Structure formats: structure tokens, C-alpha cells
Amino acid sequence: MDQNSLPPIQTTARDDAVLKALVGFVRAEALQPGERLPTERILAERLKVSRNTVREALTRWEGLGLVERRQGSGTYLKAAVSPDMLHLPLTLAGGNDFTSLMQTLEIRRALEAEAAALCAERASQSDIAEIERKLDIMEQAFRTRDGMSSEEDWEFHQAIYKVSGNPLFEQIIAAMHELFHRFWEHPLGVRDFGHASFPYHRTICERIAARDPQGARDEALKLIATVEDDLKRGAAKLKLSSQT
Amino acid sequence: MDQNSLPPIQTTARDDAVLKALVGFVRAEALQPGERLPTERILAERLKVSRNTVREALTRWEGLGLVERRQGSGTYLKAAVSPDMLHLPLTLAGGNDFTSLMQTLEIRRALEAEAAALCAERASQSDIAEIERKLDIMEQAFRTRDGMSSEEDWEFHQAIYKVSGNPLFEQIIAAMHELFHRFWEHPLGVRDFGHASFPYHRTICERIAARDPQGARDEALKLIATVEDDLKRGAAKLKLSSQT
DNA sequence: GTGCAGAAATTGGTTGGACCATTGGACCAC
DNA sequence: GTGGTCCAATGGTCCAACCAATTTCTGCAC
């Protein structure tokens, strides 16, 4: 027998019920990110549950980054919600060391290559034009400021993920990106970090425009490889300076 | 001005303080995953905070999958904790249609191949032995029950992710796995779903044992390709039957 | 002693009510 | 307008119970 055919009854699921009701409310009211939710006291009254229960439910959502609570002000929606969301709490033990950063790059290497290949397969003419536009903006910023620009660089990559047709790429890589940059002010002291990756943005774009999935994949791999090299150089430098 | 030079002050941080103390406790007692934490009442007393505050803190950890609460039994550690853990909750919008399932497979294809390759590079002799053991169990189950066994199959794959040395692989692929199986009782009516993937488990294992990253990658790609084929066959069948 | 049903203790889940700290707007003096 | 004070609204914390699920103990039948 399929054990899923008889799910365990949920006699106690107050928090989840509250969240479910809240999803319904958000959708019914068409609340957008940034807007304010009802106060805890009102929710408790409306849903006929204790305010404490409401708080536990909201604490869950807060931990998931779906809402933000501001004492004295209210609770605000931070992201879109839908009934069939899947929450994936990524936990990276070890934090700010070299290993963790390298791990985010391993994930990104795999996904970046796949996204570039899919993009090359599926891009329409207008898609390609848009990617080239982002590339121009990025190269412009690079020359003007004589260095990689996180902002414009990121937008170029996002354009690729978008054209890949699979929103999961953007979501997951964005998570890796944030994980990476959370420890990235300039802790590793590599001044020209990212410089080496610059030329590969154009080559990726060219392979996509040529509808060459394998070529796009290869160029994406080269790009990530340069970032990995930068990271290793930074780590070596750090190790050296901490051994004095 | 760097806007980071003047971060907002944190006047209240009771929950975080509780979690910080709890991290210290877990490390001091060298608690392993599976072991039980002190009861909420004891924690409240020891930390001189309300039980409510303790509960909010634990709710956070529960949402992050670090801890599991069982009414009447206790609160149990589910994963290793460290002071400098990094959490990034990722929420994926799920869908139950063919496209969504295909998208999870695209992600999995990229990650599965990379994980297999890394595994082939990094596996020790004992790692290989462990993977072969899981493979034997899976094949045994396959022959006994004459069909793919989700449970044993999944354990085999997990063994590979583990040996890859990067916990993110397991975390992300597990999410894709759940997303996939959430709408998978047998909705597509493909009886022998998964049969075609069977032989590739052994070939992957062989390439890993031979320390052949590229070979392992190729076999992993073939495995995912069979699943994609099954999915497409199921979708075609479904389309046909719904057109009657 | 063994085995098992039922009582008792333990533990997380929920409730209601109270008070504190922060916020943001209203109002006022200048 | 500027700056200050006051005040109501809101999230944060606390307390003291009680409920519900689980575990442990107890005592009886055998």
C-alpha cells in the first residue's frame, strides 16, 4: 500500500492553519511585497486563536524571509507567497572560510553551465538582443570604472537565467550569489577580483548568439574557473599574512 | 558614504541570544544529531527568559530544519550546528504540471552530474565501499520487488552527494526530489517508471570506483535522461487520455 | 518473573492576559 | 518650518495556567 494514501491526521496544526489562512488572505487582498499585514491582535481575533499562536506562525515566516516585523510599526510582506511553496533552508556550516565560498562556486559552476547551454538552445532573436544589451552595459561600466561592477555583471547573468526558461536557475544561483557576497566586502584582499572573468562574458554571449549550447557551456565553465582562481589566490594570500 | 558604515543598532535580540546560548550548549555538550536538547521549561529557567521566548527561538531553528520537536517527547537536534552557520531560506514556487517537473529535472541534471564527477575525484576507498554497499542494497530491492525502490534508490544517490564533500548538493537536490515526488504518486500512469534508470546506477558507481570524473558525469547524465524520457512518455499518455 | 493495561509524570502546544519598548502621527510652542 | 512632547498602535516579553501527545512507572493477573 502506498503510505501516502493515508496521511497522518493533523489534530494539532494550529500554526500551519494560521499560515494557510494567511496565504489565503494575502491572495484575496492581492497584497504586494512591502504592504502591511493585519496586526497580530487582529489576526488572533479573526482566526480565533491565541496571539501567541499567531506569533509562532509569523516567526516561521520571518525565519523564511517572507515577512518582516517592525516593532511599533507592523508586519510587512517581503516576498510573494503562493499556496504550494516549497521552503528550502540552505545551511552552510563553517561560515566565512574558504571552503564554504568554494562550495557555493561548485554549485554555481554546475548551474551556470547548464543555464548557459539551455539559454543557447532556447533564446529567441529578441532574447539575444536583450542579453547583448546587458553585456554592453556591463562592458561600459567595466571600462568607465576600470573594474568589475557587481551590479551590471549580475544583471547580465540574470538575463541568461531568465532566457533559460527555468526560474529555478535564477532562484538557486541567486541564493549562491548572496551566500558568496555575504562574506564579500574585500576580506581576501584581491584587488582585481573578477577582472579575469571579464572577457568570458562576451564569449558566452557569442556562443549563445550562435546557438551553440556546448560552446556556451564551456565558456561559462571558464568564467567560473577564473573566479575560483581568484578565490584561491585570495585564500593563499590570507594564509600567508596570517602566518606572520 | 558607505551605507554599511552605520548599521542599525540592535537593541532587542532576546531570541538570537537564546539561540547563541543554545549553540554554545550544543558544542559544550558535544551533542550529535538525534540527541535530545533540554526541555523548554529548563531552558527558560536556565537562561532566565520566558518559556515563550525560548519557544520563538526554537521555532526559528525548527523552520531551518536544525531541530525537530515532538510533543510529549522532547526537542531533538537534526543537524550539526556551529557558531558561524549561514542560513539562506530559499522558497520555490511549486507547480504540479509537466513543465514544473521538467524544470526540477533540469536542475537535478546539472547538479547530479557535477556531484558524481566530484565524488569520483574525491572518494576514498572506504567511501567507494560505502557507495557499493548502497548499490547492492538497491539492486537487491529492485530484484526482490521487481521495480525501482524509491527509498533505497534515494539512499544510493545521497551517499554520492555526501562523498562529494559539498553539503549543498544534498540539500538542493533533496529539495528538487521532494518537489518532484510531491506530485508523484502515480499520476502519469507509467507503470515501469524508473526501470530504465536502473542499469546506470551501477555504471555510475563503476566510474566513481575507477576515479573517472568525466565518465561518472556522463553516466549520471544518462540516468537523468531516462527519467526525463519516462516523464515525457507519461505526459504524452496523459495528454492522450485527457483528449478522449 | 512476565506481560500488559492503566495511572502518573513529562513535554511540547495553546490560551488569555498583562506589561514593556518602539514607532509614528498629532499637536503645540517657537 | 523646526523641534519637542504626548499618545495611541504595534511588536516583544513575560507569566500562569491548561491541553494533548508521549513516555515512564505501577500494579495487577498470570
pLDDT digits (tens, 9 = 90+) for A102-145: 999 999 999 999 999 999 999 999 999 999 999 999 998 888 87
Q: What is the pLDDT of residue B180?
A: 82
B106: pLDDT strictly greater than 60 = yes
Q: What is the pLDDT of residue B241?
A: 62
Indicate the DSSP class of residue B35.
P
A191: pLDDT strictly greater than 90 = no
Q: What is the pLDDT of residue A1?
A: 42
Q: What is the pLDDT of residue B3?
A: 45
- Closest C-alpha among B42, B48, B30, B28 to residue B74: B42
**For chain B, percent helix, then strand, then coil, each to nearest 5?**
65, 5, 25
Q: Residues of B with CB below 8 A from A104's CB?
A: 168
Q: Residues of B with CB below 8 A from A62's CB?
A: 60
A224: pLDDT strictly greater than 50 = yes
d(CA B6, CA B154): 48
Greater model confidence, A218 or A188: A218
Q: Quickly state the pLDDT bin for A230 (edges 50, 70, 90).
A: confident
Q: What one-character-per-residue DSSP string does A87-135 give? A: EEEEEETTTTSHHHHHHHHHHHHHHHHHHHHHHHHH--HHHHHHHHHHH
Q: What is the pLDDT of residue B85?
A: 82
d(CA B169, CA A213): 24
Cell 543555464: give the residue.
A115
B98: pLDDT strictly greater than 60 = yes
Q: Residues of A with CB below 8 A from B52's CB?
A: 52
Closest in B79, B103, B179 to A166, CB measured: B103
Q: What is the pLDDT of residue B240?
A: 64
Choose, out of A67, A78, A88, the residue to mutate when testing the contact with B (most B CBs < 10 Å): A88
Q: Mean pLDDT throughout B58-85?
A: 91
* Greatest mean pLDDT among A89-93, A140-144, B187-191, B214-218: B214-218
Choose, out of A1, A11, A58, A59, the residue to mutate when testing the contact with B (most B CBs < 10 Å): A59
A204: pLDDT strictly greater than 70 = yes
- Chain B's closest residue to A97, CA to CA, is B84
A9: pLDDT strictly greater than 50 = no
- Closest C-alpha among B143, B166, B163, B146 to residue B155: B163
Q: What is the pLDDT of residue A187?
A: 55
User: Measured on CA atoms in the order A75, A80, A84, A86, is the torsion positive or negative?
Assistant: negative
pLDDT digits (tens, 9 = 90+) for B198-213: 999 999 999 999 999 9
A88's enclosing H/E stretch is: strand A85-92
Burial class (CB in 10 A: 0-12, 13-18, 19+), A195: middle
Contact B65 A178 (CB under 8 A): no
Look over chain B and give the mean of its residue pLDDT values, rounded to a whole number: 86
Contact B88 A175 (CB under 8 A): yes
Closest in B86, B169, B179 to A182, CB measured: B86
pLDDT digits (tens, 9 = 90+) for B9-27: 666 678 888 999 999 999 8
Retrieve residue B105's grid coordinates.
Answer: 529535472
Q: Mean pLDDT throughout B115-123?
A: 95
High-pLDDT (> 90) share of chain B, %: 54
Q: Report the gap between the CA of B56 and the closest CA in chain A (Å).
A: 6
Cα B136–Cα B142–Cα B147 angle in degrees, nearest 5: 160
Q: Quickly state the pLDDT bin for A40 (edges 50, 70, 90).
A: very high
High-pLDDT (> 90) share of chain A, %: 53
Q: Per mean pLDDT, which range of A66-75, A107-116, A179-188 is the poorest?
A: A179-188
Q: Quickly state the pLDDT bin for B194 (edges 50, 70, 90).
A: confident
With contact defined as beta carbons under 8 Å apart, do A78 and A66 qualify? yes
Q: Quickly state the pLDDT bin for A156 (edges 50, 70, 90).
A: very high
Q: Per mean pLDDT, which range of A10-19, A233-242, B10-19, B219-228 is the poorest?
A: A233-242
Q: Residues of B with CB below 8 A from A4's CB?
A: 185
Look over chain A and give the mean of its residue pLDDT values, rounded to a whole number: 85
d(CA A128, CA A205): 8
Q: Mean pLDDT throughout A166-173?
A: 90
Q: Per mean pLDDT, which range of B64-78, B134-148, B151-165 is the poorest?
A: B134-148
A8: pLDDT strictly greater than 50 = no
- Closest C-alpha among A100, A89, A197 to residue A152: A197
Q: Mean pLDDT throughout B85-104?
A: 80
Q: Quickly state the pLDDT bin for A241 (edges 50, 70, 90).
A: low
Contact B111 A109 (CB under 8 A): no
d(CA A190, CA A231): 8
B243: pLDDT strictly greater than 60 = no
Q: Quickly state the pLDDT bin for A231 (edges 50, 70, 90).
A: confident
Cell 497584497: give the residue.
A31
Q: Mean pLDDT throughout A140-160?
A: 85
